[in-house]
Structure formats: structure tokens, C-alpha cells
Structure 1
């Protein structure tokens, strides 16, 4: 029997992006369930514990034992931004997560460790603010890596160059990034002077979810506080000797801001390890891919082949050497990652086949004995 709780447009859920789309997904998830389920959004994550927002308020949550057993990969577990089907526990500020509603977008990176595994940084993101500071942290190649992940995620990327008050030539920096981010809006902003605040208004729409990502110390939490008009996230300074930031944000979290937009702050990443991002790589380097389409040979490696349009563009100066090197380096990394994933997948399949073979042999032997 379907025991789906009747869903109204609750104010609390609305503040976190509830819509007719999610109502439809929730109805499908709860159909036929013997458990009374209701919708919630994951607003914070601490290892295997979660904080969720339900129609009646915020509470702690964990996944059910069945969910843990059935999950085939780490990426199937709830992530910040997910809408989930939960069972609230009567008389307690706790709930059990029984399912994750289908994600509309997900930013993924390679998880730390020797075994290749994907980690969901955030889900159901509409716009991704890629933040890079106009100080010693400024690095176009780093921005390109984030763009690869952004395009692969399904979210719309926007580059924010923060701490514009520390840069004497923001126009040149903006132009550099625009040349390396075809079709991506680029804005120079400063929380100190207020520069660029109005340019962000078109993104701050009611019900939209914006994730803020970048290295430590680029001003992500400061940006969040600036847009919120108050201190919603703690900030720290940077080390003056190398412009590296201290980790202030230690977990991912959603913050509803005035006007109805939902912001997601994420911990700073020293380096973004890409995961299965071939489509995002092609999109992030669409200018080079377009030039490559004119190469004489379809399988051109852009090394020494005759009729290589990419090499011709490099010789004429139409293509920047640094950008081409970034294109090659990222492509090699993704190819290497794909080979590692395939090797692990083969080992896992071989191990599973051995277990099945052993079980089949045991059952056959037992049948013969009987």
C-alpha cells in the first residue's frame, strides 16, 4: 500500500528548492512502499551522517541498513544537495534515508585513495561558481580543470575572480580567463569594495541552487557572506608567504539566502582530481576541439601529422601554447584514469566470477551428496 505523505508546498521545503519536478520524483519513489515516506533535502554531510531539511524542520539522518547493503558504489550514497525519501522517527529529531531521488546534476571528483572511486561533491546544482582569487593563487590552468568537472556535472559554470581590489589590472585577467573559457561568463568581484555585486544578480534566482568551489583561501566563504548580507559562514585569512588559504569550510553545506537562492559552500581543494570527464574535457576545450575538426586525419594526435590544423594554429599564434599544453595534460590524465578504472573493474569482475563459480560448485556438490 502506498503510504506517501500528502505533500503540500511547505515553506521550509520551498526555501530549499522544492518544485513540481521533485514532487513527481517523490511520488514515484514512494509508490508501493510499506513505509510512510516523505521528502527531504540533504543540507549538510559529515562522513556518514547527514543533516536534512524536512517539511517540519531540520533533523539528523542516516541511511538505512538496506540502503547500505544495496549501494554498489560510494557515489550512490546521499550527497549535499540531494533530495531523499526519508522515514522520520516519531518523537525524535532523527530520520532514516531510504532512497535518493534521481539527480539532475552532480559534480564529481576522484576520491582520495589508491583505488579509483568517484566522490560526489554536490548534486542538483543549477549554477557552479568557480572561484579563483586575483592574488598569488591566480592560475588559469586550475580554472580549466574546474571547468572540465563543471561541464561534466550538468551544471552551468560561471567563473568569479575574487579579491579584485588586490589586482591592478583586472581587465587583462578577465580577458585571459575568457579566452580560456569559451562561452563561460567571467566576473571580477570584490567583497571589500562591492565591485561586481550587481553582475551576479541574474544568477541569484529563487529556487536555484548555486555551488561555490575552488581552492582554499580564494574567498568562497567570504563570497557567501557577502551575497547573504551577513555572516553565515566562518572565514579565515590566508598565509601571506604563498597566498595559500587555510581550510575554513570543513564540510559541504546548503544555505538559503535572501531572495530564495540556495548556496552550497564546499571545502577548499588543493587539487581537483578529475573523474570520467571526457565530455567535460571536450566542452572545456571546445575551441581546440573546433580547430581539430579541420585536421586532415580524423585520428590526428596533433603531434607531427601532415595537415594538422591544431599545429598550424599554434604556429600562427591563433592558439596559445599554454592552453594547448593544458589540453594535452588534462587529456593524458583522463586517459590514464580511464585505464585504471578499467583495470579495477576487470579485477572486481574476476573476483565476482570466482565467488559465483565457488558457490555454484558448492551447491552442485551439496546436491550430489544429498
Structure 2
């Protein structure tokens, strides 16, 4: 039976293998993300109709609409798009590298590493927003390097990576709790707000660094997509086909750790998006492999939908988006564990 997949080649040697169903799914997810963005921009105390939002984005709105859309709400929506995409792609990378549906930055400790770095800055140094973002980046990178080194034994393998990540998560959670007990009331309150994960108050100062990070790391991850797909057949088969497996894993894990920490620096630790997005994308595409692009698009859709629900579903009591993703993601994790157990995979 002939494969219906197609390979799309871009300048610079980048190639993407796309199947018709996966391509259609990606287009529908992109359209859903665009529609949700328009709706979310119009959501708030001052409601703006979708048509007026589009007109304002095109430069044809009133001065009041221009201020609300471009200065107040557009940065928040762009941060949601980029954070969701970064977490979705990072989750797809880790699940593919570990060959485990639970191989997510949430469960492997990278998000907790960013949290420890941010809390060190908040509690011990009382740093500002920029310093906290830098602490989150540094904490995530240090955690990523340590987990990689502890997982390495003639290469990094999925089972060992997951075990080391879970152990690191437990230690980092203990570190977070210790820092909170040592904090003064003001610093503890500020730390808890950051740990919740929120898109409130996001402006262009969060958009540009995150956009630059994604612009560099997305192509890097996609350039390894073919090698990653071959590696899923097994290391021996991948080596026989000329894939430098450990180099590929190291590059992909570096990109995924940086994406996770950049997302945490911009919005705090948004939980479970990285876990759920790749799995949902794979179920929609019914395509084997990492589903990097559809995972990223699904992550954006999930976070936009969660942000809209957090603003509208609870009336005047708006929830931080991290609370809602935690509630929904916890239920999803239980469902995933049950289905994986029934299938005999765990």
C-alpha cells in the first residue's frame, strides 16, 4: 500500500513530512487559534465585537479601541499563543525522546527547576520582574543539564530519563516548599502568585523575548524531526540509517528545555499543557511520530481556550489560567493513566 505522506522541503535543508490528515488538522488548529485570539481580544470589561477587533488590528479602529486592543489585550493573547506553542512542542519532543506519554516537562522536573530559580530571586534577592524571568531561565537550564547528565549512560534512554525526572521533581518541590517557608509575607505572596501561572498584566516586554526564542528554537526542533521519527524505530535501526542519535537527542532536549523555561519566564509555570497537547494532537492526526507542529498548534489552542474560560466561566471571580489548566490537566492525567494501564503500557 502506497504511503500518502508528502515531504515539503524549504530553503536551508529543512524538510517536513506531512500526511493529508495531519496537514488538515494543522490548518484547522491554526484557524481555531486565530478565531480564539480574536474572541479573546474582544473579551473583557469593555467588550469589542470580533469584526471591530479585526478592523482595529488592520488599523481602522477608534482611538479607544486601538488602545484597548493593541496596548492592553494583544500582548496577552500573543503571550498565550507563544507559551502554548512552546509548551506543546516541548511536550512533543520529550514524549518522543522518552517514548512515554508521561514524558512531559511538567513531570520531568524542568518546570520545577524554573520555579526554584524564580523563587530564589524573589525570596533571597527580592529582584524585579526581569530578574525573576532570568532566574527562571537559569533554574530551568541548570535542571535540564543535571537531569541529562544523571540520565546519561551510554546514551539517554526514556525509562531512565523519566525516573530521574520524577526524582528531580520531588527534590525541587521540597526546595520550593523550603523557600516559601523562609520567605517574608510579601515575598511569599508574590512567589505564590508567580507559581500559579497567569497571563494577567502581560505586555510587550514579555512578547518580544519569547517571540525571539521561539523563532530560533522552533526551526531547530523541526530540523531534527526526520531523525526523531527514525529514532522511534529504535537506536540500532537509527544508527544503521545514519542518524547520530545522541547528538539529535541532545539538540532536541536543549531546545525543549529552553522553550519550557522561556514559557515559564513569560507566564509562570502553566501546568499540563505540555502533557496534553501532543497526545490530543496525535489522536486527531492519527499519525505516528512526534507531531511537533500539530502539538505546538494544539498547545496554543488549549491555552487560549483556558484563558477565555478563566475570564468568562466564573463571573467576576477570574481565575489565573494556571489554576484552570491544573484542574483540567489533573483530570486528563488520571484518564491517561487509566487508558495506558488498560492497554498494558504501564
Fold in common (TM above 0.5): no
Q: Which is bigger in relative contact order (C-alpha 8 A, separation at least 6)?
A: 2
TM-score range, shorter chain: under 0.3
Which of the two has greater strand per residue?
1
Q: Which has the larger radius of gyration?
A: 1
TM-score between the two structures when normalised by the length of structure 2: 0.24
Which of the two has greater helix per residue?
2
